Chain A
Amino acid sequence: MIHSLFMINSAGDIFMEKHWKSVISRSVCDYFFEEQQKANSPEDVNPVISTPHHYLIHIYRENIYFVAVCTTEVPPLFVIEFLHRVVDTFTDYFGDGGESAIKDNYVIVYELLEEMLDNGFPLATESNILKELIKPPNILRTVVNTVTGSSNLADTLPTGQLSNVPWRRAGVKYTNNEAYFDVIEEIDAIIDKQGSTVFADIQGVIDCCVKLSGMPDLTLSFMNPRILDDVSFHPCVRFKRWEAERVLSFVPPDGNFRLISYHVGSQNMVAIPVYVKPNISFREGGGRFDVTVGPKQTMGKMVESVVITCAMPKVVLNMNLTPTQGTYTFDPVAKVLTWDVGKINPQKLPNLRGNISLQSGSPPPESNPAISVQFKIQQMAVSGLKVNRLDMYGEVSKSSPKKSFTFEKYKPFKGVKYLTKAGNFQVRT
């Protein structure tokens, strides 16, 4: 399966390598560099590269190329998915998976890679299990370790691998038992010049932070589960109960995890919460830029954290604009205009207008750049999805006192939060 892994930073340095089988010379990366040369941007490098003796499969995340070397037939998605899991684990451990974090924690990184893959085949990839085997660093522990010379490895070896619930370790204990559920929905949309919707789509996830003692068995039910068209689950969710009753029944992993991601049926009309009125024109040597943002269907909620970005054509030299609210920046190198609008006040619509100066001599661009919009709406799920209730099997209840005896008796604090944000929301101009 995966033979070796090379991590390459944006400067083209191979700053870490790991081999699970025999050592492969890092010169194999030359093929990768060759491909990289051809590409315009780092994202454009083809993820699967075939070389005479090896196959290079890479992902690009956190400004690092993670290049896996394979020698035989292997499903490419298998490798890609695994590499992403590796980066997820780094992010989970170090707060971010960037180059400096990896270099700072290279011992842990190496130990993690050792545990996650055996002979090129994934061994332990569940964050919960890994944290049992290798303790994540934190400031306190780093200090203590430096003073006492102890290590970040678990003192007692875990038993987690043996439990029936591979994603949860046994013997979890909390003084405050709490379970938080964040229903986060993203609107993907393409709006055309006239302001009509070309394509709109709602994707949602439920992220959880569950800190409950023992082995809780949770059931989450929705008021309107039918609007979920396509769902993918964390392995803990019992699929059959979902099929039969449309409830989510699961023994949660400990800590943060993504319970489900879903897609709302396309037959539902998607409420577009904001509109953007762009007016961009170019002429010889310059142009006008005038953009107004306003709320559309917000269901009475405030639209917050609105950010407008626009990648201007290469010939744009500079922009001289005046916002009615918020601040704007124009990066003259990347030619990206960013306007941080903030909240939208329906009474006084935010507007940004001004002049564009172009490189002298070059013809004005024929097409206008697309505008992408970011926003957030708190306390609303745009699809209308509502959590009905969360039950914990094993809670003390009068009707069935018998059930509770094997479970720890506690009453958890439960909370559900809704959030709608823009996903890939772009306006063509």
Chain B
Amino acid sequence: MSNGGGSYNAQNDSRAGSTGEPDLGTEPTGGFFSADYKKHDDLKQMLDSNKDNLKLEAMKRIVGMVAKGKDASDLFAAVVKNVVSKNIEVKKLVYVYLVRYAEEQQDLALLSIATFQRALKDPNQLIRASALRVLSSIRVPVIVPIMMLALKDSVVDMSPYVRKTAAHAIPKLYSLDPEQKDQLIQVIEKLLADKTTLVVGSAVMAFEELCPDRVDLIHKNYRKLCNLLVDVEEWGQVVIINMLTRYARTQFLDPNQQDVIADEDKNFYGDEDEKDSEEEEEDEEKEKTPPKKPYMMDPDHRLLLRNTKPLLQSRNAAVVMAVAQLYHHIAPKSEVGLVAKALVRLLRSHREIQHVVLSNVATLTTIRKVRGMFEPYLKSFFVRPSDPIHVRTLKLEILTNLATETSISTILREFQTYVTSSDKDFVAATIQAIGRCASSISEVTETCLNGLVGLLSNRNEYVVAESVVVIKKLLQMQPDSHSEIIQHMAKLADTITVPMARASILWMVGEYSDRVPKIAPDLLRKMAKNFINEEDIVKLQILNLAAKLCITNPKQTKLLCQYVLNLAKYDQNYDIRDRARFIRQLVSPAGEKGALGKHAKKIFLASKPAPVLDSSFKDRDQWQLGSLSHMINQQASGYSPLPDFPAAAPDPTVRNVEVPMPWAEKTHKKKAGKPKKEAFYSDEEEESESESDSEESSSSSSESGSESESEDDSKSESGSDKDKKSDEEAESSSSSSSESESSSESESDSESESEPDTKPQKKAPPPKTKSSTKPKKEAKQEVSLLDLDDKIKENGDSIPSQAHDEKTDHTLLDTEVDVSSTSAPVPAPASALDVLSPSLASDLQGLSINDKTDTAISVTTPMFVSTTSHELLHRMTGEGLSANYRFTRGTCIYSTSMVPVELTFTNHTDSPVSNIRIGDKKLQAGMTLQEFPEIPSLPGGGSMSVSIGIDFKDTIQPANFQICTQDRKYNVSIKPPVGELFQAVTMSEADFTAQQSKLTGMNENSGKVSIPSQHNNSKTITARMSELANVAPVSSSQDGIYRFAGKTVSGGTLLLITVKVGEDNSASITVNCELMAICSMLVKEVKQKLSLA
């Protein structure tokens, strides 16, 4: 108990009984193993006991062993039993142990799996999370399927914490079984769509580990990530920023190269940019508008830069560095300067952080263009005696890089103090730095050289040696008129002992021997005397000197040269022997002059290029700043180089998020044709559609997600209002005017947003219903189709767009027929309406505040709106007044639980009918009906549509009520077809299946039907289903399975329809809904509908 794992306890726990110092890391070896065995038995006993504190004690000691890296694997069986312990701490420690040893004891580890599976269903999120964490950390390949299941459950968990843990589990699972990659990528896709700040960081981390090249997964989430970035926890920020840097490099144009852009383009994009940035500004709560650039930057590019800027203020150095590298790699050069201040701030931090930041700054300062940004902070890079050596060298490097004509004097003065430092390496580095400054700034070369020569008389030999080396390099650049320095240095050869310095002197004297003709041979003489005692590097230079002198001054030195060569011939080092042989052949060939001998002078005395003194950080520019590879200046495993900017920007619209936007329909509505112009429909349709498409994309690109629906409604109403006014105008002008209105509307929108409450109050006279419903009706159709269009985009072309086109024609034709046959519409007298309509608009705005949130299941616009009217009141019964009703499938303006029904009254007589209203209602219990405001008068031959709302309480019980005119009452009844009780909703396939699995047994109803082969295609089935009921198709990953989802208008009960088409045109229909009656009815109707020839 006194050694091994127990040693921690010796300190911790007086009962352990050990008195001496803990013997960490220095175990007595004698008898260790036997003691170990005994102790383990002891631990096993404790683990088997039923006392929690004994178990805890044992576990603590075991963890102590694990912590020290001691083998505790033989306790596995005893420990794993305790995974079921109720005591949280015991459990936790068991988890720690399991994660460590499960890999080694796979079979036994399986015993614990059941516990985790149970814990995954625990109501406490933290227990679920930790179960998932441990389960995924156990590296046992057998349980991959179990992990996969757990993971899939967890990514849809309510708790963001669990989802975060799930994100962390993805790379673990991947490393265990890379074959799961595809499935895991799907999971990542789901997690990336998460809007919780807690989750996105980890999701991106998983993305980076698994599939960093799947840029397509990022497109849709790009803007969300940018906007959430500030609120994400710091570690997530680093990962996201690094990922977005790479993303930006693939998706945006290089901001520093693009200068020429056609004017036309500029304007076009410029507008959009302006508009966009306006929208974004809102999100940003009025940040400064970006300064106008001569080149065009993608608004998304700008968004990224703007949203990362505040993070320069982070307390986390890693975040600051990440932003700095982002700016360095993707921002226009003019803006990179921002980061300097933040980077300099980091220099106050821990020394390790300083080291990393400085080496990145050193790289930045080698780049001429951005060097300037650090100049104001020059003094921050002054070296302090307390700096560790690696920090000092980096600071020197930076100071040298930053040296300019103006700052050089300050820097040199600083360098002078460094030279007196007691640290030899640092002094050497400083002298080299002085040399570099001298070579790069010609003004100070002379000064530096003098300074360095001054250092030659320094008492410290290292200083002198280093100076000699540096002076040699400098002289090589401008050897003229420096013979006195060379003389001086030649004298130094007597005293100096550092080989490198001696070699430098010899080389120099040899190279410029013509300037010191007297000294050179003398030097060679001295050297020759001492040749055998020199270092190799010096010997080589002596040979060199001898050869050169022999060529220039053979009279005096020929013999000396021979002597040296002879000495070298028998040297121990073969390099020197080689060199001697080589030189001998050149200078004094044995036989006749060799061919090479003629050129000996050229060979030895060629003018040599001056060395370039460059920063050692020059080549680090190739690495991504702030990366590990940059630090170690070699490619770390897993490093992927930053791609270059593309030559042409990829499609920027991929980032447009296409959420079903109820307000989108309003814009289309305005473009819908007038009933009057029926004849032109087919022509127009195309035009209006293309218009609306572009509108759609632009509106969604500028989509900020903050507009409330009330405003949209007002927009729409004023739009239709506009329609009325411009009724008589030409089609084109009407559509264009409404378009301009819509754009102005969207702008005013943002302004009014701040005070949405006050708006309805300002203008709210009682509702008037005399709006012309006819255009609205048309619009609705248009809308549904366009939404379908959206959906197609969303579903990744699951329905060919051609099909959609055909469908458009089809329904429009239908409309034409219907309209002409049933309700020959006559515009209502404009007089009263024009006055009333504006107030109506605002009225409706206040009424229909619909707080649909962006949950996974969201109400969408209907796929199809029936144009068929049902008769409510026959004109015979109604004595000339007829009424039809139609289900518009929109959202009821009166209440969200009501089914909107449109009533169209037509007066078939010549005299006006006045005071049309709803009288007594005989409704089933619970049902409610919202009346339309009284129609004061309907002129002879005139027709008018109003809308009412009926809450059917999700039954198909008819709503009975009276329609009253001035003098008569007629009993009428509306019986809803079962399909009209629903609202279409969108949901993901996964949600669908998840929901479906909850609605089984009694709530499931199925049937079989054979579909006529000519109709057995997705288009017809989808169309028929949406005709039948107000449901929306759910994207399906499998062929032959069609899924539709809706929910009841009143109760919000989910309805799920699955049509599975088999091979022989037979289809099985499954309907899941809590309302069993509706379930069975729907199955019947679906069967009928699909089997229609």
A and B part of one assembly = yes
Chain A residues with CB under 8 Å of chain B are 1, 11, 13-19, 21-23, 26, 39-41, 43-44, 46-48, 50, 55, 58-61, 70-78, 80-82, 84, 100, 103-107, 109-111, 114, 118-119, 121-123, 125, 146, 149, 151-153, 155, 157-158, 161-162, 166, 188, 190, 192, 198-199, 201, 203, 229-235, 239-240, 243-244, 258, 261, 263, 266, 311, 313-314, 363, 365-367, 370, 372, 424, 426, 428
Within 8 A of A (CB), among B81-133: 87-89, 92-93, 95-96, 100, 103, 124-127, 133
Within 8 A of A (CB), among B442-476: 458-460
Q: Are the C-beta atoms of A110 and B22 separated by less than 8 Å?
A: no
Nearest A residue to B385 via CB reads A370
Q: Are the C-beta atoms of B25 and A14 separated by less than 8 Å?
A: yes
B161 at the interface (CB under 8 A from A): yes
The smallest C-beta distance from B554 to any residue of chain A, in angstroms, reads 45
Q: Are the C-beta atoms of B345 and A149 separated by less than 8 Å?
A: no
- Roughly how many angstroms separate A26 CA and B66 CA in the complex, as a whole number? 13
The smallest C-beta distance from A268 to any residue of chain B, in angstroms, reads 14
Q: Can you show 20 pairs from A to B with CB atoms below 8 A apart?
A: A16-B68, A17-B69, A19-B100, A22-B139, A72-B638, A73-B629, A73-B639, A76-B626, A81-B353, A114-B95, A118-B137, A152-B89, A153-B92, A201-B380, A230-B345, A233-B315, A235-B234, A266-B376, A366-B459, A426-B385
Nearest A residue to B160 via CB reads A162
* 14 additional A-B residue pairs with CB within 8 Å, beyond A44-B388, A119-B172, A125-B235: A26-B69, A50-B632, A72-B639, A75-B242, A75-B322, A75-B627, A80-B317, A106-B63, A107-B93, A125-B233, A152-B89, A198-B379, A261-B315, A311-B385
CB contact under 8 A between A231 and B313, given known A13-B24, A18-B67, A149-B56: yes
The smallest C-beta distance from B55 to any residue of chain A, in angstroms, reads 10
The smallest C-beta distance from A267 to any residue of chain B, in angstroms, reads 10
Q: Are the C-beta atoms of A77 and B353 separated by less than 8 Å?
A: yes
- Roughly how many angstroms separate A366 CA and B427 CA in the complex, as a whole number? 13
The smallest C-beta distance from A316 to any residue of chain B, in angstroms, reads 11
Q: Are the C-beta atoms of A80 and B238 separated by less than 8 Å?
A: no
Within 8 A of A (CB), among B305-364: 310, 313-318, 320-322, 341-342, 344-345, 348, 350-353, 355-357
Contacts of B284 in A (CB 8 A): 240
B518 at the interface (CB under 8 A from A): no
Which listed residue, A15, A231, A266, touches B24 by the CB 8 Å rule? A15
Closest 3 CB pairs of A and B: A149-B53, A72-B638, A367-B420
B211 at the interface (CB under 8 A from A): no
B1031 at the interface (CB under 8 A from A): no
Contacts of B313 in A (CB 8 A): 231-233, 239
- Binary contact readout B146-165 vs A (1 if CB under 8 angstroms, 0 otherwise): 00000000000001110011
Q: Are the C-beta atoms of B356 and A104 separated by less than 8 Å?
A: no
Nearest B residue to A371 via CB reads B385
Contacts of A266 in B (CB 8 A): 376, 379
Q: Are the C-beta atoms of B137 and A119 separated by less than 8 Å?
A: yes
Q: Are the C-beta atoms of B25 and A13 separated by less than 8 Å?
A: yes
CB contact under 8 A between A151 and B89, given known A19-B100, A121-B202, A230-B342: yes
B contacts with A: majority SS:
helix
B953 at the interface (CB under 8 A from A): no
The smallest C-beta distance from B398 to any residue of chain A, in angstroms, reads 15
- Roughly how many angstroms separate A366 CA and B422 CA in the complex, as a whole number? 9
Chain B residues with CB under 8 Å of chain A are 8, 11-13, 22, 24-26, 51-53, 56, 60, 63-64, 66-69, 87-89, 92-93, 95-96, 100, 103, 124-127, 133, 136-137, 139, 159-161, 164-165, 168-169, 171-172, 175, 198, 202, 205, 230, 233-235, 238, 242, 284-287, 310, 313-318, 320-322, 341-342, 344-345, 348, 350-353, 355-357, 376, 379-380, 382, 384-386, 388-390, 414, 417, 420-422, 458-460, 626-629, 631-632, 634, 636-640
Residue from A18, A146, A162, A201 with most neighbouring chain B CB atoms (10 Å): A162
CB contact under 8 A between A240 and B64, given known A26-B69, A158-B126: no
Contacts of B126 in A (CB 8 A): 157-158, 161
How many residue-residue contacts, CB under 8 A, span A and B? Answer: 262
CB contact under 8 A between A40 and B318, given known A59-B350, A111-B92: no
- Roughly how many angstroms separate A243 CA and B310 CA in the complex, as a whole number? 9
Q: Are the C-beta atoms of B67 and A161 separated by less than 8 Å?
A: no
Q: Are the C-beta atoms of A110 and B89 separated by less than 8 Å?
A: no
Q: Are the C-beta atoms of B420 and A366 separated by less than 8 Å?
A: yes
Q: Are the C-beta atoms of A40 and B389 separated by less than 8 Å?
A: yes
The smallest C-beta distance from B1066 to any residue of chain A, in angstroms, reads 49
Q: Are the C-beta atoms of A161 and B161 separated by less than 8 Å?
A: yes
The smallest C-beta distance from B378 to any residue of chain A, in angstroms, reads 9
Q: Are the C-beta atoms of A106 and B67 separated by less than 8 Å?
A: yes
Contacts of B389 in A (CB 8 A): 39-40, 44
Q: Are the C-beta atoms of A235 and B315 separated by less than 8 Å?
A: yes
Q: Are the C-beta atoms of A365 and B11 separated by less than 8 Å?
A: no
The smallest C-beta distance from B498 to any residue of chain A, in angstroms, reads 18
Which listed residue, B11, B13, B459, B628, touches A73 by the CB 8 Å rule? B628
CB contact under 8 A between A103 and B24, given known A78-B235, A81-B353, A366-B460: yes
Which listed residue, B13, B103, B124, B352, touches A59 by the CB 8 Å rule? B352
CB contact under 8 A between A77 and B626, given known A104-B11, A151-B87, A157-B127: yes
- Roughly how many angstroms separate A313 CA and B460 CA in the complex, as a whole number? 14
Nearest B residue to A315 via CB reads B422
Contacts of B124 in A (CB 8 A): 157
Q: Are the C-beta atoms of B67 and A43 separated by less than 8 Å?
A: no
CB contact under 8 A between A114 and B390, given known A72-B638, A73-B629, A367-B421: no
The smallest C-beta distance from B132 to any residue of chain A, in angstroms, reads 10
Which listed residue, B69, B285, B342, touches A240 by the CB 8 Å rule? B285
Contacts of A81 in B (CB 8 A): 316-318, 353
- Roughly how many angstroms separate A159 CA and B315 CA in the complex, as a whole number? 25
Q: Are the C-beta atoms of A48 and B233 separated by less than 8 Å?
A: no
Nearest B residue to A148 via CB reads B53
- Roughly how many angstroms separate A47 CA and B316 CA in the complex, as a whole number? 18
- Roughly how many angstroms separate A13 CA and B160 CA in the complex, as a whole number? 41
Which listed residue, B96, B388, B636, touches A72 by the CB 8 Å rule? B636
Contacts of B202 in A (CB 8 A): 121
Q: Are the C-beta atoms of B8 and A106 separated by less than 8 Å?
A: yes
Contacts of B53 in A (CB 8 A): 149
- Roughly how many angstroms separate A175 CA and B74 CA in the complex, as a whole number? 52
Contacts of A372 in B (CB 8 A): 385-386
The smallest C-beta distance from A309 to any residue of chain B, in angstroms, reads 10
The smallest C-beta distance from B67 to any residue of chain A, in angstroms, reads 5
Which listed residue, A75, A152, A201, A235, touches B318 by the CB 8 Å rule? A75
Which listed residue, B68, B139, B632, touches A55 by the CB 8 Å rule? B632
- Roughly how many angstroms separate A50 CA and B63 CA in the complex, as a whole number? 30
Which listed residue, A76, A231, A365, touches B631 by the CB 8 Å rule? A76
The smallest C-beta distance from B328 to any residue of chain A, in angstroms, reads 14
Q: Are the C-beta atoms of A110 and B96 separated by less than 8 Å?
A: yes
Nearest A residue to B460 via CB reads A366
- Roughly how many angstroms separate A372 CA and B386 CA in the complex, as a whole number? 9
The smallest C-beta distance from B958 to any residue of chain A, in angstroms, reads 48
Contacts of B175 in A (CB 8 A): 21
Q: Are the C-beta atoms of A230 and B341 separated by less than 8 Å?
A: yes
- Roughly how many angstroms separate A151 CA and B88 CA in the complex, as a whole number? 9
Nearest A residue to B60 via CB reads A107
- Roughly how many angstroms separate A18 CA and B66 CA in the complex, as a whole number? 8
- Roughly how many angstroms separate A16 CA and B64 CA in the complex, as a whole number? 9
- Roughly how many angstroms separate A47 CA and B314 CA in the complex, as a whole number? 22
Q: Are the C-beta atoms of B88 and A234 separated by less than 8 Å?
A: no
Contacts of A70 in B (CB 8 A): 628
Contacts of A234 in B (CB 8 A): 315
Residue from A76, A157, A239 with most neighbouring chain B CB atoms (10 Å): A76
- Roughly how many angstroms separate A363 CA and B460 CA in the complex, as a whole number? 10
Nearest A residue to B233 via CB reads A166
- Roughly how many angstroms separate A8 CA and B136 CA in the complex, as a whole number? 29
Contacts of A26 in B (CB 8 A): 69
Q: Are the C-beta atoms of A43 and B388 separated by less than 8 Å?
A: yes
Contacts of B125 in A (CB 8 A): 161-162
- Roughly how many angstroms separate A125 CA and B316 CA in the complex, as a whole number? 12
